Structure 1
Amino acid sequence: MKLQRRSFIKQAGMAGMGLAAGIPIPAAHAGGAIVDMNSKAAGDQSIIGPYGPWIDGLNKQTLPKFSFRNPSFTNLEQWKALAMELTRDRMGIPDTGPLPVVEKSGTQNHDGLQIESLSWQLPYGRPTQALVLKPAGETGKLPAILAFHDHGGNKYFGRRKITKTGDDQHPLMEEHQQHYYEGMAWANEIAKRGYVVMVSDAFTFASRRVMIKDVPENQRGGLTDSAPEKPENIAAYNDWAAKHEHVMAKSLFCGGTTWPGVFYAEDKVALDLLSSRPDVDPSRIGCGGLSGGGLRTVMMAGLDHRIKCAVCVGFMSTWTDFLLNKAYTHTWMTYVPRLPEDLDFPEILGLRVPLPTLVLNDEDDQLYTLPEMKKADHILAEIYKKAGFSDNYRASYYPGPHKFDVAMQQEAFSWWDKWLKA
C-alpha cells in the first residue's frame, strides 16, 4: 500500500497547474523584444511543431502594450491604474456578491496552534471550507498570511495539502507533504511564528470540487462519489477531474470569465474575511504558495494591494515558455486569452510594485525552462528598478525539481517576517 501511495503521489505531481483615463497608450516599442531564435524551442522544436515560432513571434517584435518597461510609461501610479483595469477586464472576474456569513464548525488545539474550521457560501457551488491557524493563547492583532495550496494533479484535496490538524492525517496527504514540502505542513509552520494563517479550498478543489453526482451520467465515466477517502477512489476521481479541466475551461470562456478570474474572485473573498477578523492587523497581510498556489499568488498579489508582501513559489516563467515548451505540463487554470499582448506573465505580479515580492524557483523544475525562468526574473527586476524600488524584489534559485522544501520555506518565512513584522 505504501508503494502504491508513493506511486500515486508521483503521478499526481507530474500531472501538474474606459481604459484611456487621460493616459496615452504607448506606441509599439521594439527595443530588446525580437524573436529569440536561440531559445530551446524556436531553434529546434516546439510543442506545437513549426507553428510555435510563428505564434510566439506574433507578440515578440514589440514589448507588450501595457508593459511598464515601455519608455512611454513614466508615471508609476498612472501606469498601474491603467494596466490593472486592463488585466481585470481580460480576466473577466465574476461578481461574488456581498461578503458571505462565516460559519464556524469547530476549534481545536494541535502542536501549539489554535485551529478553526470555517465555511462560507458563495452564490454558486457548495460551501467553501477553510482553516484558520494561529498560536494558541495569542491575543491582540497579528500579521496574517493567506496561504494557497498547490494543484499537484489532486483536486480531491485542498486545504489539507499544506496543513495538519492532528495525528490522524490522511496517508496520501502525509505522502504529498513529503513529496513537495519535505514533510512539512508549511501553513502550520508559518503560523507558529506569530501569524494568523487562512487556508481555503480553491475553486474545483476539495469542498469546491465538482462532485460526480452533479454532472450528467454520460459525463461520469462510470464513477460515483461513494467511499471517497479510499486511495483508489481518490486516484480515480483525480483522473476524471484532470480530463474534465478542458470542459470547465471552455464553459468559463463561454460565460465570459476565466479560471484565473474565478480564482481571484474567490481568493478576494477569503482576503476580505481574513482582513475583517478582530485578531488580524489588516495593514500586515501577506500571501504565498507553491505551484497552483504560486499562480494564485501572481493574480492575488498583482491585483489586490492589500497584500503587503508576496511569495510566489514554483510558478514563474514567461508566456513564451508556456507557448513553445511547457503548456503540456500545466493545467487550463493558467491562461487568460489576449492578456499576453498586453503583459508578459511576470508583469501580472509586477503590477504590485513597489510592494515587496519574493520569487522562489527550482532550477530543475520540470514545469518550466531555466532560461525563461531567468527571463521572467529579469523582467520583474527591471520593473522594480525602473520604479526605484530594486530592494523590494528578490528571486532565488534552488537545486532540484518542483517543490517548496524546508530551505525555501525558511527564506519565505524570513521574507514575510522582514516586511510584515517590522
Structure 2
Amino acid sequence: MKNMIGAYGPWAASMLPKEPSALSLQECPADEFESRRAAARARVLECMAPPPKQIPKPTVLRRFEYDGLEIEELSWPQPAGEPTQAWVFKPANATGSLPGVLALHDHGGFKFYGKEKIAQIGPEVHPRVKQHYDDYYGGLAWVNELARRGHVVLVHDTFTFGSRRVRLADVPEAIHWGLKDDADESTAGTEAYDKWALEHEHVMAKSLFCAGTTWPGVFYNEDKMALDMLCNRPDVDADRIGVCGLSGGGIRTVYLAGLDERVKCAVCIGMMTTWRDFMLNKSFTHTWMCYVPHLARELDFSEIYGLRAPRATMVMNTHEDGLFTHEGMKDAEKILNNVYHSAGVPERFKCSWYDGPHQFNREMQIEAFEWLERWLV
C-alpha cells in the first residue's frame, strides 16, 4: 500500500512497538498506575526538552466591556521574541471565584493572528478572521460563548502566532522569500505573511532541534505560563481549571493537559490519532508542532493525553476530517478507553463523533461546554 515515504514505509513502521511499552497505562495494574504515570510523564518531558521556564509578571494593559463580558488585555515578557499578548473574558458583574478555562487557539495555516481566531473583543472583525469563524467554529468566537456561561477564559498568542510571530526585521534577507511587509493587516498582507510563515516553520523546527529543544517543548512552556496566569487570578478557582482547543489547539491540549496536574478537565478537538497514522498516511497534513523525537517507541500520541487519567478527558472527532484516517482516530480512541479502564474510571473519558469536516461547530461547542461544566461547576 502506498504511504508517505514510499518503499521505506514498512521499514519505518516496523520500528514502532507491536505491544504497549513498559510506560504505557493500558492494562496497567492498579498498584502500578501512579508510579508508571509519573515515569511516563518524566520521559515525555525528557524527550520534549522544554527550555527553562520563566515566571513573568503580567501587565494589565486595559479593562473594558463588550457584549456582556468584562475583558482584560494582558501582556507578559518572554525570554525571546515579542511579549505574549492575551485576553481574559468573564461575565460582566460576575463576583467571587469562577471556574477557569485556558482556550488554546488553532494553527489553521493562519499565523498573523492567534487569539483573535477564537475570541472577539469588539464589533469590527478582520475579514479573514470572520471567514475563519465561519469555516471552523460555526460562525462564532467560541471563547466569548464559553465565558458567557460563567467562566473566566484566558486566550493567549503562543509561539510564532499573533503577537509572538516571527518578524522580518529579525531574520536575514536570504530568507525573506519575497515578503516585503510583515505588519500589513490587509487581507492580501496577512495572506502573504502566512505564506512566508508556513515556509519558515521548516527553518524554525530545525533550529529548535539544534538548540536541543522541540516545538512541543516550547509550546508547553508558553502554555504553562498562561496556565499560571489563569490559576493565579483572584477571580479564578484554581481547583476548577479546564483546557480546550481545536487542531493546533488540540495538539497543545494533549501535551499541556497530559502533563499538568492543575487541569481538571480537558477537551481535545480534531487532533487525535496515532504515530503510525502520522507516519504512513497524514504527516503531510501537519506541521512540525506535533512531533517529539524518540517518543513514538515508548508512548503513542494518544497515550500522552492519557497521562492525565483519572481526570476528566474528552476527544471530539469528525468523520470527514481530512487530517487523519478514520482508522487512526478509532485506534486512538481505543487506546484512551483502555487507559481509563485501567484507571478504574471509564466514565471520565468520552469520545464524540460528528459528521462533517475538520471543525468545532456550534453543536460540538455545546457538548464540549457541557462536559467542562459537568466537571468544573
The verdict on a shared fold, with TM-score over 0.5 as the criterion, is: yes
Of the three residues 372, 376, 388, the one matched with 2:332 is 376
Question: Given residue 333 of structure 2, which amino acid in structure 1 is its aligned partner?
Answer: D
Extract unaligned runs of 5+ from structure 1.
1-43
Equivalence for 1:222: 178
Equivalence for 2:236: 280
* Distance in structure 2 (CA, Å) of the matches to 1:420 and 1:381: 22
* Distance in structure 2 (CA, Å) of the matches to 1:228 and 1:150: 21
What secondary structure, in the 3-state scheme, does the structure 2 residue paired with 1:337 have?
coil
Shift of the 73–61 alpha-carbon distance from structure 1 to 2, 3 Å rule, reads farther
Matched, 1:80 2:42: no
Residue identity over aligned pairs, in percent, reads 51
> After the TM superposition, which residues 130-209 of structure 1 pair with which residues of structure 2 at under 5 Å, given as runs?
130-209=86-165
* Distance in structure 2 (CA, Å) of the matches to 1:226 and 1:63: 46
* Distance in structure 1 (CA, Å) of the matches to 2:139 and 2:47: 38
Of the three residues 271, 275, 295, the one matched with 1:319 is 275
1:70 to partner: Cα distance:
5.7
What secondary structure, in the 3-state scheme, does the structure 2 residue paired with 1:385 have?
helix
Shift of the 71–356 alpha-carbon distance from structure 1 to 2, 3 Å rule, reads closer
* Distance in structure 2 (CA, Å) of the matches to 1:316 and 1:138: 35
What secondary structure, in the 3-state scheme, does the structure 1 residue paired with 2:233 have?
coil
Extract unaligned runs of 5+ from structure 2.
none
Of the three residues 48, 70, 84, the one matched with 1:91 is 48
Question: Given residue 281 of structure 1, which amino acid in structure 2 is its aligned partner?
Answer: D
RMSD: 1.2
Matched, 1:255 2:182: no
Of the three residues 343, 357, 363, the one matched with 2:299 is 343
* Distance in structure 2 (CA, Å) of the matches to 1:124 and 1:237: 20
1:62 to partner: Cα distance:
3.2
1:366 to partner: Cα distance:
0.5
Count of aligned residue pairs for this structure pair: 377
1:183 to partner: Cα distance:
0.2
* Distance in structure 1 (CA, Å) of the matches to 2:28 and 2:82: 47
> After the TM superposition, which residues 28-43 of structure 1 pair with which residues of structure 2 at under 5 Å, given as runs?
none
Greater shift in the superposed pair: 205-214 or 49-58: 49-58
TM-score normalised over the length of structure 1: 0.88
Shift of the 74–57 alpha-carbon distance from structure 1 to 2, 3 Å rule, reads farther
Regions of 4+ moved over 6 Å:
none
Q: Residues 193-228 of structure 1: CA distance to partner in whole angstroms, max 9, x if unpaired?
A: 000000000110010000111101111113233651
Equivalence for 1:307: 263
Equivalence for 1:420: 376
What secondary structure, in the 3-state scheme, does the structure 2 residue paired with 1:312 have?
strand
What secondary structure, in the 3-state scheme, does the structure 1 residue paired with 2:16 have?
helix
1:69 to partner: Cα distance:
2.1
Whether the aligned pair in 2 keeps the contact of 1:64 and 1:344 (CA below 8 Å) is no
Shift of the 356–401 alpha-carbon distance from structure 1 to 2, 3 Å rule, reads same
Equivalence for 1:48: 5
Whether the aligned pair in 2 keeps the contact of 1:151 and 1:293 (CA below 8 Å) is yes
Whether the aligned pair in 2 keeps the contact of 1:313 and 1:361 (CA below 8 Å) is yes
What secondary structure, in the 3-state scheme, does the structure 1 residue paired with 2:15 have?
helix
* Distance in structure 2 (CA, Å) of the matches to 1:64 and 1:343: 7
Q: Residues 269-290 of structure 1: CA distance to partner in whole angstroms, max 9, x if unpaired?
A: 0011110000000000000100
Whether the aligned pair in 2 keeps the contact of 1:211 and 1:225 (CA below 8 Å) is no
Matched, 1:63 2:30: no
> After the TM superposition, which residues 393-408 of structure 1 pair with which residues of structure 2 at under 5 Å, given as runs?
393-408=349-364
Whether the aligned pair in 2 keeps the contact of 1:76 and 1:387 (CA below 8 Å) is yes
Shift of the 133–79 alpha-carbon distance from structure 1 to 2, 3 Å rule, reads same
What secondary structure, in the 3-state scheme, does the structure 1 residue paired with 2:277 have?
helix
Whether the aligned pair in 1 keeps the contact of 2:63 and 2:71 (CA below 8 Å) is yes
What secondary structure, in the 3-state scheme, does the structure 1 residue paired with 2:60 have?
strand
TM-score normalised over the length of structure 2: 0.98
Matched, 1:292 2:248: yes
What secondary structure, in the 3-state scheme, does the structure 2 residue paired with 1:373 have?
helix
Question: Given residue 124 of structure 1, which amino acid in structure 2 is its aligned partner?
Answer: A
Shift of the 72–388 alpha-carbon distance from structure 1 to 2, 3 Å rule, reads closer
* Distance in structure 2 (CA, Å) of the matches to 1:409 and 1:209: 28
Greater shift in the superposed pair: 143-152 or 116-125: 116-125
Whether the aligned pair in 2 keeps the contact of 1:316 and 1:376 (CA below 8 Å) is yes
Question: Given residue 26 of structure 2, which amino acid in structure 1 is its aligned partner?
Answer: R
Shift of the 387–169 alpha-carbon distance from structure 1 to 2, 3 Å rule, reads same
